[in-house]
Amino acid sequence: MRIFNSILITVILLTLISCSTREEMDEFNNQDENLEKVKERIKAYSPTKISADISNLTPNQKKVIELLVKAGQVSDDIFWIQNTPDAISIRDSLKKSKSESAKIYLDYVNINYGPYDEIYGSERFVGDGPSIRPDGGNFYPTDMTKEDFENYIVENPELKDEFTSLYTVIQKDGDGYKAVPYHIAYVDKVNQLAKYLEEAAKYADNQSLKNYLLLRAKAVRNDDYYESDLAWMELVNNDIDVVIGPIESYADKLLGYKTSYESIVMVKDKKASEELAMFEKNIDKFEARLPYDKKYIRETAGKGTKLQVVNVAYFGGHGQQGTKTIAASLPNDPRVHQAKGAKKSMFKNMMEAKFDQIVRPIGNIILEPKLRKYIDKEAFTSFVTLHEVSHTLGRGYVYGKKDVTVASMLKEKYSFLEECKADIVGLWNISIMRELGLIDDDYVQRTKATYVAGLYRSIRFGDEKAHGKGNLIQLNYLMDKGAIITNEDGTLGINNEIFFEVVGELAGKVLTIQAEGDYNAAVNLEKDYGNVTERIEANIEKLKSIPRDLDTTYDFK
């Protein structure tokens, strides 16, 4: 591919030299084959405006949001530097070109934060350079291998801490290497970001938010985030929340150390927060009514993570790259988990957008006509919330063994089973809430139809992800047991008579596997139900025209 690229470039250069009147960067026109591919792939991302309602906020709070978005945009700038060495130069030269093809490439470069495709194997789709994204992004010298890194530390053991730090970039230094802290490598940007946070703190009337913003500004200036992470967990009665700084290390595919800058500016959703409180208030009742052997049932459900339902005002940096998440559980520092636990934010307006663009269209294709009127946005976001609450139900430790976690017993089978549990137990809890008189029949009906449509959302692209596998197990199980029916015309129906009976049965199976830490049973469940079967494949075929994800923009610029 490298050889191919250099031939291509030679051809392009000759073309450019031979016709000097051409627009700058017109060479992108020559990559026709790529252009068609990119046009196709862009369609997978539906252009979507994400709005957060801030009309109820005070003038000071609105000012805080405005300044946090500015800080977030600086965070975005830094991720452009971090992701790949040539991301910015390619973006900026495409911007200068007037050609149609450059515009299309630019759109896709903006989605991917560089010339490499986030979804399709990190392959380059524009410009010259390595055909696959360097695993180390721009965190390490492009030609540095894992072995180079590890050998260098063996030879220079005193450098280990700074080299493996989450907050340094590795650069060449004469014949060797050096680690440069983020606050030095990106010094101008970091100072700019910190100033916006300090400015925002001035307008923050909520004391806990003010305190957090000031500590966060200090943290980005010295790359010590512990204190500010604690302060983030201590936010109380805040209408506004923000996650900002270097957070996740997924973009470092070489060693997984280096964190990417990102930003999430959030406004709390009052109504959804009340519903969440209702779910949480009933959590011990849910635990007591779990459909498996009574001996496994705990007196109180686990406290687990703090939950909040928010609307996103702005995503920047790593969080804005490629597919958009609908929830985030943070911080990542285990010392903070130990001291304060963790906080999971659910992004309601992002979920709603995915519902409109993806879940409803899926439902309108695969469900039988009489069920389609029940596909409902509120039912979707409520169920996602209930899914999160249901993660805290059932056993985290194996029954009768105080120190053995379920995760340690189920190993690589744990993730998909835990996701499957959160869904199926969440659904079971709908029947419990109906029994307790907390919701009506209409709510139940809307949840069921929306749930079936929602199952197809993540299995469309195979079973490789935990959510996809968990959903396949539910779908196959409910189909096999006749709770979900396939009509002669291929549409799906629901057998209301037995629906919750079957749901309870699967919930009981999954919960029991966890309680017993039964690895073999998990393997068998996956083998029996975790596959893309022919009938599911047939439905997936019908969903090709539905976007895979969103290309989001925000109210704030």
Interaction site with Zn ion (CB under 5 A): 419, 422
What's the min distance (Å) between Cβ of 104 and Zn ion? 35
What's the min distance (Å) between Cβ of 317 and Zn ion? 23
Closer of 359 and 422 to Zn ion (Cβ): 422
Distances in Å between the Cα of 544 and the Cα atoms of 457, 469, 548 are 12, 20, 9
What's the min distance (Å) between Cβ of 224 and Zn ion? 31
Closer of 241 and 419 to Zn ion (Cβ): 419
DSSP conformational letter for 358: I
Closer of 106 and 425 to Zn ion (Cβ): 425
What's the min distance (Å) between Cβ of 425 and Zn ion? 11
What's the min distance (Å) between Cβ of 218 and Zn ion? 33
What's the min distance (Å) between Cβ of 201 and Zn ion? 33
The Cα 351–Cα 63 span in angstroms is: 26
Residue pair 344/329 in contact by the 8 Å Cβ criterion: yes
Query: Which residue carries 């007037």 as its tokens?
Result: 98
Torsion of CA 423, 345, 406, 396, to 10 degrees: -90
Distances in Å between the Cα of 170 and the Cα atoms of 74, 86, 137, 142 are 22, 17, 11, 10
Closer of 71 and 422 to Zn ion (Cβ): 422
What's the min distance (Å) between Cβ of 423 and Zn ion? 8
Closer of 263 and 458 to Zn ion (Cβ): 458
Contact partners, residue 248, CB within 8 Å, separation at least 6: 259, 260, 262, 318, 332
- What is the torsional sign of CA 276, 278, 279, 280? positive
What's the min distance (Å) between Cβ of 392 and Zn ion? 11
What's the min distance (Å) between Cβ of 387 and Zn ion? 6
Closer of 84 and 471 to Zn ion (Cβ): 471
CA angle 266, 270, 275 (to 5 degrees): 115
Residue nearest to Zn ion (CB): 422
The Cα 348–Cα 351 span in angstroms is: 5
What's the min distance (Å) between Cβ of 325 and Zn ion? 12
Smallest Cα–Cα separation from 557: which of 313, 351, 202?
Answer: 313
Closer of 240 and 307 to Zn ion (Cβ): 307
The alpha carbon of 439 is separated from its chain's Cα centroid by a whole number of angstroms, namely 30
User: Would you state the structure tokens that stand for residue 544, as one six-digit string?
Assistant: 């090709």
Closer of 465 and 481 to Zn ion (Cβ): 465
The alpha carbon of 408 is separated from its chain's Cα centroid by a whole number of angstroms, namely 24
Query: Which residue carries 């992701």 as its tokens?
Result: 83
The Cα 298–Cα 305 span in angstroms is: 18
Closer of 86 and 419 to Zn ion (Cβ): 419
The Cα 537–Cα 353 span in angstroms is: 25
Residue pair 152/159 in contact by the 8 Å Cβ criterion: yes
Cβ of 1: how many Cβ atoms within 10 Å? 10
Closer of 216 and 391 to Zn ion (Cβ): 391
